[in-house]
Amino acid sequence: MKLTLKSLASLTYDLLFKLLLIGDSGVGKTCVLFRFSDDAFNTTFISTIGIDFKIKTVELQGKKIKLQIWDTAGQERFHTITTSYYRGAMGIMLVYDITNAKSFENISKWLRNIDEHANEDVERMLLGNKCDMEDKRVVPKAKGEQIAREHGIRFFETSAKANINIEKAFLTLAEDILRKTPVKEPNSENVDISSGGGVTGWKSKCCS
Amino acid sequence: MEFGEESSPALAFEKDAFELTVEDVYDISYVIGRDLLKISSTGEEVSDLQFRIVRVLEMFETLVNKYNLSVEELKMERDNLKAELDRIIREGSSSSGQSGQTVGANQLVVDLNDPNRPRFTMQELKEVLQERNQLKAQLMVAQEELQLYKSGILPQSEPAMVDVDLGTPAATEDSSSTINEKTTIGKL
């Protein structure tokens, strides 16, 4: 059995989707991702340095879909690094914190960033995180729904801590991307080894 | 003894000329008018003088009025100029900071004795992060591959798949594939 790039990739997944998490610092992007990828929650706050990613393979409509999820630093000082990762994203999750009014006000700023740096056909989604902290809420759910409706994007209130809507949000975003993906045998084309790192390492193995 | 109603209009005569207000001029007119009444009965010549005195007092009123308005205008002008000067000084100090003398609004003072002071450029950080993420991705691929071997999906004997040990170029054929691997990574 001579193994090729395509046949080896097909053993592990059918499609690769690149997702990106953005939003103000401290809204819980890393925690949302950690809950989805490792089903765990960590209360200690460690600010993300620049950019990181996690991989999670899910199954949708009988297809194994590998999600490479890029987690960005919300702090302004990393802006030039993080925006260079917008271009490769097929889906972007914009996260705010329902206990932090400023993070909600900044949504328009983040949406502008998407317009400026991401692909035109990128799937967007709005998440209001920390919805377990009802006593500290300052952003009503209706306001999140309204701004999402205005921009024609999906909206969920989530809690990484209480594990509310996290998996649902990621799966919905992946489904929306899958719906737009042309049906073909996409394995080899989708092992993307461009800019942001991606899933790499297969290439050399078919050369000898 | 004569204080009260009589003494207060007379006080206007004692004031500094530049402090006089229009009201003071009216007080002065009142006092002079009252004195003129005392002597008006003595003769004809007095009425001419009376007329001229009234005329002089009217001119005096106009001058005092004009002077006070000018002082007010000058005070306002002075305050405006002062505010303008403060603004220019502030702007001047922030722009001279950019030329290196003092620290301006957009500059940061770095304490060279602080072990946690910023030292690396954004570009350097970007490269380190890119390398970290590449290695992480490759590790994941290697882990997956290992999993496939362990589960028996991939045959152990396939030689094309066993060039994971990049560091040990045992045979010449292996080392060429290592170089190949490296150049591939370099392009990523």
Residue ranges of domains in chain A: 15-180
Contact A207/B180, CB-based, under 8 Å? yes
Contacts of B163 in chain A (CB under 8 A): 204-205, 208
Mean pLDDT over residues A109-132, rounded? 97
**Tell me, what amino acid is at A21?**
L
Q: Chain-wide mean pLDDT for chain B?
A: 75
Contacts of A52 in chain B (CB under 8 A): 129, 133
Contacts of B177 in chain A (CB under 8 A): 204, 207-208
Q: Is the pLDDT of residue A67 over 70?
A: yes
Mean pLDDT over residues B101-106, rounded? 66
Residue A33: which pLDDT band, with cuts at 50, 70 and 90?
very high
Residue B169: which pLDDT band, with cuts at 50, 70 and 90?
very low
pLDDT at B164: 42
- Report the residue from B153, B161, B185 with minimal CB separation from A205: B161
Closest CA to A125 of A141, A106, A109, A144: A144
CATH superfamily of the domain spanning A15-180: P-loop containing nucleotide triphosphate hydrolases (3.40.50.300)
pLDDT at B147: 84
Q: What is the spatial distance between Cα B37 and Cα B31, in angstroms, rounded to a whole number?
A: 10
Is ipTM over 0.90? Answer: no
Q: Is the pLDDT of residue A6 over 80?
A: no
Q: Whole-model pTM?
A: 0.59
For the four alpha carbons of A114, A117, A121 and A122, in that order, the dihedral sign comes to negative
pLDDT at A108: 96
For the four alpha carbons of A113, A118, A120 and A126, in that order, the dihedral sign comes to negative
Residues 44-63 of B with CB under 8 A from A: none
What share of chain A in percent tops pLDDT 70? Answer: 82
Residue B183: which pLDDT band, with cuts at 50, 70 and 90?
very low
Q: Is the pLDDT of residue B42 over 60?
A: yes
Q: What is the spatial distance between Cα A80 and Cα A107, in angstroms, rounded to a whole number?
A: 18
Q: Which two tokens stand for residue B80?
A: 């405006």
pLDDT at B53: 87
Higher-scoring residue by pLDDT: B92, A164? A164
Which range has the top average pLDDT, A1-10, A169-178, B82-91?
A: A169-178
Interface test with A, best of B131, B134, B146, B187 (most A CBs within 10 A): B134
Q: Is the pLDDT of residue A35 over 60?
A: yes
Q: What is the spatial distance between Cα B47 and Cα B180, in angstroms, rounded to a whole number?
A: 124
- Report the residue from A3, A49, A208 with minimal CB separation from B177: A208
Of A82-91, B111-120, B161-170, where does mean pLDDT reach its minimum? B161-170
Distance from CA of B110 to the nearest CA of A (A): 16
Whether domain B9-95 has CATH 1.20.58.1770: yes
Query: Would you call B108 an interface residue with chain A, using a CB distance cutoff of 8 Å?
Result: no
Closest CA to A37 of A58, A21, A22: A58
